[in-house]
Structure 1
Amino acid sequence: MMPTLPIPVPPHFRIIAHRGASAYAPENTLAAFQLALAMGVTEIETDVRLTSDGVVVLCHDNTLERYGHGARSVEALTWSELRALDMGSWFSPYLHHDKRLLSLDALFAAFGERLTYHVELKGKTPGLAAATHALITKHGLADSCFITSFMYEALVDMQAVDATLPLGWLIGELTEERMAQADALALYQLCPRANTVTPEAVAHARTVVTEVRAWDLNSDHAARQAADVQALIHRVVDAGCDGMTINWPDWVRHSEQ
């Protein structure tokens, strides 16, 4: 039997729209973030890379192939070249052919303090951490931003730029080794894959970090069905996690709503 939607989550649980409401609009576009906010979700996750001319842009993939523009590297192109591209037709040519790549500057300007931002350092270009931090400072959003990455070194770089920003490390599983590394860097969050979390592991991780936030509640897996994602939601909540990123932010609601 399919679970009833929306699925209730605790009042302080972080419902984070993954690349915006990316099940319904092209990921990391203005439309995806606007839709998340319209759904009542005030936390979003996005991915940042640095263009060849130093602009911080929102793009998950290293190349443009999945978006219909060939195997060109995002970081090898200029902002002028990237912002001219159609970033919506791959998702729906009828509805979203006019969607464009966003810069982090434009995202912050559009939403300001209305959103909490979980900014994933995706690119490996030197200077990404400093450039991202400069935009956070420019818009006065230090209290509204979390910085995350799969790359431990990227978090080290950001901490060297600003030791006060809360950092989260995206990992596969909550292991003793990962927790020791998190403790060494005084991380705020550990972010394990959703299908690995258990109540015991989450409770243990909280002896090192303030929050445990899950990821991988998406449709990137060819065989994954809606019921699979909904089962993962229950697993994450039952394990006691503090939040999760999800492509369907309307599938969950705080229990007080």
Structure 2
Amino acid sequence: MSRRLPQIIAHRGDSAHAPENSLAALDSAIAAGADRVECDVRIAGDGVLVVSHDADLSRIARRSVLVDDTPAEELARIAATAGASILPLATLFEAAAGRIPLMLDVKSLIPAVIEKIAGALTKTGFDPRQIALGLRDPALVATARNRLPTARILALNGSTTPVEAFLAEGVELIRLWERDADAATVAALHAQGCTVWVTTGGAGTDREVGDCGIDVLYRLIAAGADGLLVNNPGLGRQAVLSAA
């Protein structure tokens, strides 16, 4: 029997066709057939969770404004003047509820962020079972499991937090970068009972994070990836349908 084909995870929404991490990118990703939308989570200066990849607004709004020093409403206003978007996480939850699961790339490393995410889920009624909680520090795994027991935990491993550190905490959903996602590595993780999602592009390639051509997607599908993070979910869906 053939294996299940990979999920298409829209990286910052359909960021190839709409401002990243915006409601328009969410809607476009759903229309393109994404299975899940990825977004980035930070804590604004007033303690509100916001959807922002970067620690400041230099790239998206050409302003050296720090996210963690600035109230959420001010961040949204500054971003909007440049045609960009910084949403409260609760707003994204409300827009996605009942429509599509989410993957949260949690940039903060403090345990309080888990409590804030749990509070936002409760407030908006978004089902925690529809969340993949991407953590960068294995020390947060126990807190996340305690506060959000039905959410999936995703290891966002890196040079200072290797896969093994998350495996030791019993995490079974692992993110690999494209450069590391060869068939042997994916198979070894599968042999340990893991599910493997792959972020396309980034370090080790000549492309921005999430950017790729269909040839890359075919290679990652052949390597056994269970999920593909892409900026263009329509292209991802095309690759999956062609490989079916």
TM-score relative to the length of structure 2? 0.84
- Tell which deviates more after alignment, 150-159 or 45-54: 150-159
**Is the aligned partner of 1:31 residue 2:24?**
yes
SS in 2 for 1:120: strand
- Aligned counterpart for 2:50 among listed residues 49, 57, 64: 57
Q: State which drifts further: 43-52 or 136-145.
A: 136-145
Match of 1:4 in 2: none
Residue in structure 2 matched with residue 224 of structure 1 by the alignment: 207
Residues 186/105 of structure 1: CA separation in 2 closer, same or farther (3 Å cut)? same
Q: Extract unaligned runs of 5+ from structure 1.
A: 1-9, 90-96
Q: How many residues align?
A: 236
Relative to structure 1, the CA distance from residue 235 to residue 241 in structure 2 (aligned partners, 3 Å threshold; closer, same or farther) is same
**Secondary structure of the residue that 1:252 maps to in structure 2?**
helix
Distance in 1 between the 2:107 and 2:211 partners?
Answer: 29
Q: With CA pairs under 8 Å and 6+ residues apart, which has the higher RCO, 1 or 2?
A: 1
> How far 1:68 sits from its partner (Å)?
2.2
After superposition, residues 1-257 of structure 1 pair within 5 angstroms as: 12-87=5-80, 89=82, 97=83, 100-124=85-109, 127-138=112-123, 139-171=125-157, 178-217=162-201, 223-224=206-207, 229-253=213-237, 254-255=240-241
- Percent identity over paired residues: 25
Counterpart residue type for residue 88 of structure 2 = S
Which 5+ residue runs of structure 2 have no aligned equivalent?
Answer: none
| Partner Cα separation in structure 1 for residue 217 and residue 81 of structure 2 | 28
Q: Deviations over 1:115-152 (max 9, x none)?
A: 11001101345521110122223314111100013333
- Contact 1:26–1:88 under 8 Å retained in 2: no
Shift of 1:37: 1.0
Structure 1 residue 11, shift from structure 2 partner: 5.2
Give distance in 1, aligned partners of 2:171 and 2:81: 35
